[in-house]
Structure 1
């Protein structure tokens, strides 16, 4: 069944619902007929039932004779007459009603009474027979009038309820069976569909978790089977593509690392010899001294660039687990601000630091990585804040999280900057250009290190202008910690 197309499965289930409902309804109707017959013979009197009781009643009337004219005979008479189906009147010889269950007057006088003896008359759907009461003197002393109908009746009061319930149940049984079988077959149908869909959802979750070592174990010659097969093919292609991409990325990282190592030695040599020449007293001209200073400056920039590349490669390859150490957040921030103040004062930049909620509590964090995060962000702010500008650093510690905000009064970020600032080797556009030749790795490294601390980093433009960088980190107050944090 599962190998058939979904449209065919739907049609088959629809037909099964109809056929099952028809079959169940037929069985129900058959049982209803059997039960009705049972009720008819056990619970229902036939139409002539009370008519057949008349000979027995007549015999009793003849036996009792004039005694029936006394009111005291009423209870005994009603034990013989089935009053549920037969109504009666006891009359005297003048047609006057003495007692009975039938209150309507049918006979007005003696002559009319005599005319009704031993005949059956009809009145409004009922049949009436008049049985004479003969006294000892052989004269008519009165009569008993019996009225009955030729209708089916029930042996007790519950018979009608049984028949009504049976009729209503049989009448609505097709609707009930359609609902029941629809629920039953639709559940089977949805289970057949849900199985491959659940497999696909599990596969999507594994892909999201970067786990491509799985198989979609569903084979069927229908739309769902082809969908699962296409998904498996997509997964295989994705695995091959990602494997190639990961391999290329690893080769690129290794190449960058190797290149950085290769550049490190000659740059160190150039820097060392330039410093030696500057420090020596060789009677050089001013022009030569200026050239040596330029060589030393660019050698230092190249060495710094190489260090950044090596750090990035090491960060991507090894992951650099956190080395958590206890530190007082307030003291740590004040020390870092002190390191930035010298450069800020040289250009007349006002450096403001606010620390909230840290107090003197000890926090466990990786101070080396936090230093590098702050250095990378603050170096950008110091570089792009104009002389006489302002940089504001605020730190707020709440329970197990620390929030950092750095705002400067520079030109701020362009849209291109905000879209690409965390990309590797991005050097910025005209708004925050790379006039000093930075590596383009600072913010990329900052984001990687923030993520390792279980935090996030974002950049904005402040409402009054200037760049705005905000990031948060997880911090802890005990020593029982893992070497890495999950965000």
Structure 2
């Protein structure tokens, strides 16, 4: 989820969730309090009406007693002279937060709450001022507000009398207070719930990935590049984790390559030291032989000089190979491509090789099965280097007195394929996948004895791949090794050299 969508979701959580929960809570509270009020006071109303007009509810609470007073005043006013009857009426009012007061003339002869009556009696209407159409009573706002209902009557001696039902407005129905408390508590609880949901959601979607990223950063800072993390690429934070993981993998690869490079360089230096030491020792020895007069005949002197020349040529070839390796390693290999006729080129090339191998008692078996007009676009010099490296590598490890190398050039669709098969000792299966790696040597002890930098096949692989071809090896221990590579043919109609 994008960060923009997360912010929108957070906004909806902050607004919609509280509204939903408040509506649910208030509805539940109202329904519960409606039932409680109806059961306690036998009043059919609703909580919203109580909260908006509590005086109406207080009026309903005393309506039954007041109606009885009205009927008594019309039919049996003498009952108001009976203290027991007044006590009965007052007891009915006590549970309804009200009390009774009776006035005869200007004196109060009965009060259900003398203390409260003393502070408010001067606010009562006179006889005849209270009209009968005021069913809800009158609200009197004094220091202690109250709701007053009045019924006038005449005593048996003709004296004017009034009976009052007084309801304390400050003492509302407990359910109203309870409703208010429950609503406030619900609001606080809803705010807490909303904040908790939002915090948990933010933690899981934002803070947790950031903490994971922080832990991975600390691990990387301590040198642990194996600490892997995952992220959702659909959001910014997750994408940051994905990018960090890609950076970690790339950095680990670079370090591994660097370590391998350092290891290869150490091996290269070791190999070069050995390869340089042998010709240098020979050159030094033969030169000292000339200086010391050991070569006391013309024939010996010529032999010593030829040996020095040969060893110097070996040194030159080794330096050239190292220089070429440096160019390969930096991808700055220079190529001069041209159209080469396969038949003519390989006939000349193999002829040169055959002369050198004949001296080493190695037989060449060469067959070219391609069309005489077949051409490839290649660098003639570098392609010759590939052939020399492959053949030279075979010669070095044939290990028998009468060696044989079979060279085949064949047509393979859009490519031509060349194979160099020798009858040497072969390569172990565990070593075969690595023969084209730089500096790789299957048998380190034997290779040190035979010399070489271990770059020949690696250079050949690089050159062939730069020509758009492919190179691989097939081998069986005890039977020999075959190196094969392909070159792409020129399309018909291309200009000829």
What interval of TM-score do these two structures reach, taking the shorter chain for normalisation?
A: 0.3 to 0.5
* TM score, norm. by length of structure 1: 0.44
* TM score, norm. by length of structure 2: 0.43
